[in-house]
Homo-oligomer: A and B are copies of this chain.
Amino acid sequence: MKPIILTGDRPTGPLHLGHFVGSLQNRVALQTSHSQFIIIADAQALTDNYENPKQIRENVQQVMLDYLAAGLDPDLNVFFVQSQVPELYELTCYFLNLVTVARLERNPTVKDEIRQKNMKDSVPAGFFCYPVSQAADILAFQTDLVPVGEDQHPMIEQTNEIARRFNFLYKSTVLKEVKAMTGTTGRLPGIDGKTKMSKSLGNSISLSESSDEIKHKVRLMYTDPNHIKVDDPGTVEGNVVFTFLDAFDQQKDEVENLKEHYRKGGLGDGVLKNRLANVLEELIAPMRSKRQEYEKDPAFIAELLKKGNERARDVAATTLSQVKRSMGLLY
């Protein structure tokens, strides 16, 4: 049996190059050797977007198109929408009893997000509890591996704490501890070079961007602010154009030569940016046309998600019934 991976995204906007580098390209690479459950986490997205549920709803569709455009194979992966698997809500409610409020307060990821989003005294209880809902997602599918970045390790810890506590308390073996799959995620800065790429920060290049938009955004990219004249020596480190060339340009040798040239002076940003725009266009153009094909066939997408939701419900219902049996809660 192939190892099971649970992975996914919050449908808060179109997926971008950060998602591609960070996870999509790895999912594509893993889709034959692993059994992947890909969750579109709309319920989790609602915990801090509860004011705009319709937008979340629309993005579910868009994210699904992004997945297919990026090369995820509809026959190899199970795509499903979190809110359509009510078993996950039920598991969440049982698991909430096994985690203390103090433990949730200590979750570093949630703490960071509360600060970043400036939530202060208005933290929605659903948002506060989302690590437990995430644990339910992971544990429901008897997951072996979760691809995570370093900042997501607390999620794995919380999940395994719940699994251990459940199994101990109810003398059960139903919940399987999960392993973080590191090294499978990368991180891409935004075009401003400041932080990681994020749609809400307005520094992203989405996977559905037009050619013109790509060119425009590459032109806006942060380079070396001291590289004023072409002849000036330039800095490669922290120069977003080079970071992107490293990530996307297949001609590694040429990129190394360009770096050397840039450092010496005599290489203008414009030349580099044209090159990057072409590289990105080459990456995105086939996604764009694949996306257009799928957009013409909404029934296919609907059917794909319906099938995925059914499959996910089957698996989650099996775990849920084992969970309830372990607790002696059978009626």
Contact = CB atoms under 8 A, between A and B. Distances in A.
A78 interface: no
A39 interface: no
A128 B97 CA distance: 9
Interface string A27-50: 000000000000000110011101
A294 to B, nearest CB: 18
A1 interface: no
B128 A101 contact: yes
B100 A122 contact: yes
A92 to B, nearest CB: 6
A94 B124 contact: no
Interface in A88-115: 89-90, 92-94, 96-104
A152 to B, nearest CB: 20
A242 interface: no
A141 interface: no
A252 interface: no
A305 B122 CA distance: 40
A100 B56 CA distance: 21
Contacts of A101: 123-125, 128
Contacts of A86: 86-87, 89-90
Nearest to A52: B328
B42 A329 contact: yes
A46 B89 CA distance: 16
A297 interface: no
Interface of A: 42-43, 46-48, 50-51, 53-54, 56-57, 60, 81, 83-84, 86-87, 89-90, 92-94, 96-104, 121-129, 132-133, 169-170, 305, 309, 327-331
A47 B51 CA distance: 28
Give the number of copies in the complex. 2
B328 A169 contact: no
A48 B96 CA distance: 11
Nearest to A128: B101
Contacts of A102: 121-123
Max chain B Cβ within 10 angstroms of own Cβ: one of A50, A101, A129: A101
A123 B100 contact: yes
B121 A125 contact: no
Max chain B Cβ within 10 angstroms of own Cβ: one of A56, A81, A97: A97
Contacts of A169: 50-51
Contacts of A103: 125
19 contacts: A46-B94, A48-B97, A51-B169, A53-B327, A57-B328, A89-B90, A89-B93, A96-B124, A96-B126, A97-B125, A99-B124, A100-B121, A100-B125, A101-B124, A101-B125, A101-B128, A104-B125, A125-B132, A305-B331
B89 A47 contact: no
A230 B225 CA distance: 100
Contacts of A87: 86
Contacts of A56: 329
Contacts of A121: 100, 102
Nearest to A330: B57
Contact of A83 (B42, B50, B329): B329
A53 B125 contact: no
